[in-house]
Amino acid sequence: MSANAAPSARLIVQCPDRPGIVAAVSQFLFQHGANIMSADQYSTAGGAGRFFLRVEFQTDGLDCTVEALRETFRTEITSRFDMDWKLDAVHRPRVAILASRTDHCLLELLWRWRGGELPIDIPVVISNHEALRKDVEVFGIPFHVFPVTPETRQQQEQAIRALLREQDIQLVVLARYMQILSGDFIAEYPARIINIHHSFLPAFAGADPYGRAFERGVKIIGATAHYATEDLDEGPIIEQDVVRVSHGDTRESLMRLGREVERSVLARAVQWHIEDRVFVHGNRTVVFH
């Protein structure tokens, strides 16, 4: 939200599909003085369909605080429709970025943050190597290194998680962080850890996807941003993109082209997440662009 924009809030709803949901929500917001700026809705097909709703509204005309509006919505609306929901004022989430040695995804996020395109706070960047320290510190962001070996993996992860709690982190972004997170780590941030995989999943999951793509002689390569789960590279997909390649490409040119796709795919996924545009339902997502 820009400095001159009116204060706003978002209502995010997921529930069984049935008639009257939009009418009830719209009437509720109208009665309390909210001015709806945008509304997106989607329902899945079938008799047991699922309904998804994202509403952003101005709050300067409300007859109560956002906190009071949330509580009133809870008591008057949610139980009628069996809703999973949240209603919060729009704010800048606190985001931690984890990266290893590769810089392109990390720098893309930092450039967009510095340019005001990503309305987030980045209190910390974390790595398991020193390689990116100078790149990060030029942005004025603290850079923390937690080296890891097979013998110290558990202690290293515990130290990272302690730092994330200390910094009140709301979203973790794995910008080519080449370590596997434990189930406990992932459970602490459900649907709040975004990973970039350098392949158009489900093709070439796991290690060295560009090398395997080169060996198969593929004609398209891509990248996938998804929420991290305990199943490696199988979490709900947020965004994907591809670029066409040819028999004349080398492993190195595939990697160069892939890096360009990775950085934009990850940035879009982070943008949509912080704008509450991504709904997770099972292992699938609904994304309001």
How does pLDDT run across 125-150, given as a tens digit for each residue? 999 999 999 999 999 999 999 999 98
Do 120 and 181 belong together in one domain? yes
Q: Compute the Cα dihedral for 102, 99, 144, 95 and give only its sign.
A: positive
> Does the pLDDT at position 3 exceed 90?
no
Q: What is the pLDDT of residue 222?
A: 86
Give the residue among 186, 263, 252, 253 at the shortest CA–CA distance from 223: 263
Q: What is the pLDDT of residue 214?
A: 78
Do 71 and 150 belong together in one domain? no
Q: What is the pLDDT of residue 138?
A: 97
Q: What is the pLDDT of residue 213?
A: 75
Mean pLDDT of 242-265: 88
Q: Using a CB cutoff of 8 Å and minimum separation of 24, what contacts does 163-170 make?
A: 163/124, 163/126, 164/96, 164/124, 167/94, 167/96, 167/123, 167/124, 168/94, 169/94, 169/95, 169/96, 169/123, 169/124, 170/93, 170/94, 170/95
Do 159 and 65 belong together in one domain? no
CB 190 within 8 A of CB 209: no
- Per-residue model confidence as pLDDT tens digits over 169-190: 999 999 999 999 999 999 999 9
> Does the pLDDT at position 204 exceed 70?
no
Beta pairing, strands 237-244 & 220-227: antiparallel
Do 37 and 67 belong together in one domain? yes
**Which one-letter DSSP state was computed for residue 236?**
P
From 74, 89, 104, give the residue that closes a domain: 89
How far is it, in rounded angstroms, from Cα 258 to Cα 24? 46
> Does the pLDDT at position 250 exceed 90?
no
Q: What is the pLDDT of residue 233?
A: 83
Give the residue among 213, 264, 270, 210 at the shortest CA–CA distance from 241: 264
How far is it, in rounded angstroms, from Cα 74 to Cα 76? 6
Tell me, yes or no, whether 79 lies in a domain.
yes
Tell me, yes or no, whether 39 lies in a domain.
yes
Do 19 and 36 belong together in one domain? yes
Q: What is the pLDDT of residue 131?
A: 97
Q: From the CA atom positions of the chain, what is the Rg in Å?
A: 21
Catalytic sites, residue numbers:
233
- Per-residue model confidence as pLDDT tens digits over 92-112: 999 999 999 999 999 999 999
> Does the pLDDT at position 205 exceed 70?
no
Do 157 and 259 belong together in one domain? yes
Domain count, the chain: 2
Q: In 3-state terms, what secondary structure has residue 39?
A: strand
Q: What is the pLDDT of residue 206?
A: 67
Q: What is the pLDDT of residue 80?
A: 95
From 72, 89, 106, give the residue that closes a domain: 89
Do 242 and 100 belong together in one domain? yes
Tell me, yes or no, whether 1 lies in a domain.
no
Do 27 and 133 belong together in one domain? no
Q: What is the CATH number of the domain that holds 233?
A: 3.40.50.170
Domain that holds residue 161: 94-287
- Using a pLDDT cut of 90, give the percent of the chain over it: 80
- Per-residue model confidence as pLDDT tens digits over 33-83: 999 999 999 999 766 799 999 999 999 999 999 999 999 999 999 999 999
> Does the pLDDT at position 280 exceed 60?
yes
Q: What is the mean pLDDT of the chain?
A: 93
How far is it, in rounded angstroms, from Cα 104 to Cα 279? 27
What is the separation, in whole angstroms, between the first and last Cα of the chain?
Answer: 17
Give the Cβ contact number of residue 14 at 10 Å: 18
From 58, 89, 120, give the residue that closes a domain: 89
How far is it, in rounded angstroms, from Cα 258 to Cα 85? 37
- Within its chain, how far is the Cα of 83 from the centroid? 22
Q: What is the CATH number of the domain that holds 80?
A: 3.30.70.260
